[in-house]
Structures are given as C-alpha cells and as structure tokens.
Structure 1
C-alpha cells in the first residue's frame, strides 16, 4: 500500500482526520496549500477533494479562479496516482487539457478518476479524468491530465 493511502487510512480514523491528512498533503507539495484542499475521498482510482470558496482563490469576477481549479484537479490527480500506481512503477504528469464550463461561484469538489486496467497496461500514457463540481451538480471545469507511467528504475 502506498504511503499516501496508508496515511489516509490512519488519519481518517481520528477526529478531524481528513483535515489532518489534507494539511499534511499540502505540506508535502506546498503549492497545493494555496487552495487549502480538503480531501473527502481517497482510494485507488478515485479521489475527491474540496476547494473552499474564499476570497484568496477568487478572480476579478468573485468566483474561484481558473488556475485555483487546475491546482485542485492536479492535487486530486496526484493523490490518486500515489494511491493507485503499482509499487514497481513511477509516474510523472505530461499534460493537462481542461475546459471551463461554468462560473465557479461556490465550494468546488475536484474529482479524479481512472480505471484499474490503465495502471497495468503496456501503454505508458495514462489519462486521468478530472472535473470540478459545485454542490448543485454544476460542472465548472472538466478535462484530462495525462501521466507518463514507466517501470521504476532499480
């Protein structure tokens, strides 16, 4: 089991465990701290985290900024990759394609998903489906983050 998944499993049995995990995750990759992600679900092939709607992540339209949304999607993808990848492989992001589909006027849940067979296939290109959703179900951003997954060097 990966370190990220082990930490999630240990932290979430504690009071405020999701918040503790989220804080520790953001410390490991400090740029993620700018959006204050709150992880909601972390399991192989699926991660959900919340970007709280607050002034610090707003644009001139008083909605969540596009780059803050991308930051949330990348944090979800990174946690998913760490929780999912086989121990004998490594990953690196190689590209991100997103479409902004609605104004992000509230808290945004960022979701990253893959299929189990993607991680064991011969093809090193692993597309992670990502989207950001408001509480009412409105999708505000969607796309794919492509990973390059290769055998770990020994």
Structure 2
C-alpha cells in the first residue's frame, strides 16, 4: 500500500538533481502547507517512510529564544511534523488518526540545527484502534538528544 504522502515524496525526491535536494525542498514546502504553522520552523524533510520520519529544523533567528537556542515550541512543531509525516505514510487505508496529546522532556540546550525523528513499529498500526504512541526525539548533529517524548494518536476505523 502506498499513500498519497509517500507518492508525493517519491515523485519530488526523484527529481533529477544530485541527492534529490531540490525535491526534498519542494516536498517540505508542500507538506508544511498541511498545517501552515509548520512553515514557521523552515522545516526540511530529510527522510520519510512507513514507521519513520526525520524533519530538520535549521537554527536561525526566527526559531531562537532569548538565550539563543532553538525554542521549545519550535522543537514541538518539528516533532509534530515528523509524526504527521510518519502517520500519513504508515496508516492503513481503512483507518484515520488525530493527535491526542504530547509529552516531552527537554534534555539539553538546542544549540544548533535539530533533527526531529518520529518512530513506530508496524505492529502498532496493524492492530491500531484507540491510543497509538509515537516515539519522538530531537537531536543535534553530534547525536545529543535535546527533546524526547511521545505523541499519542487516536486511531479509529473510517466509517
């Protein structure tokens, strides 16, 4: 099963440019329009496949707080965008989802670009009905985790 989001990802990243960087930029802009507040973090979708997504938040002035690190809400927006890409790429055609809640811990200062990662296991989706926890984290290029948590989805059958 291939979803609309996966088809768009494959089409845009398949554009004839070295490494698909133009295609990833086109996809990132298009996907950010699903929830326009995503655009406020200037996201770059790095990887997108069933059960896994990565979104890069570049550290720039517009996402910094008063101490010069990436601010908490920007991090949460990046995690939510990664989770949304994962969910749209993974959910069975007969199901639908909506975010139910988010629990996060800020574990270190976000002093540089942050890669937001969302992960699930296929078994979660195969039996999904009700709560479905998505593991999320944000990390710096050196692997330092700056935010860690879970976004809970509410998954139901389509009527």
Distance 1:152 1:93 in 2: 16
What is aligned with 2:53?
47
For the aligned residue pairs, the C-alpha RMSD in angstroms reads 0.8
What is aligned with 2:13?
12
Aligned residues: 153
- TM-superposition CA deviations, 1:46-88 (whole Å, max 9, x none): 0011000000000001000000000000000001000000000
Segment of structure 1 superposing worse, 36-45 or 113-122: 113-122
- Using structure 1 for the length normalisation, give the TM-score: 0.97
SS in 2 for 1:28: coil
- In structure 2, runs of 5+ residues without a counterpart are none
Structure 1 runs of 4+ off > 2 angstroms? none
SS in 2 for 1:64: coil
Shift of 1:43: 0.1
Counterpart contact for 2:46–2:56, Cα < 8 Å: yes
- In structure 1, runs of 5+ residues without a counterpart are none
Counterpart contact for 2:129–2:154, Cα < 8 Å: no
SS in 2 for 1:83: helix
Structure 1 residue 56 and structure 2 residue 62: aligned?
yes
SS in 2 for 1:112: strand
Structure 1 residue 103 and structure 2 residue 109: aligned?
yes
- What aligned pairs does 1:115-134 form with structure 2 within 5 A after superposition? 115-121=121-127, 123-134=129-140
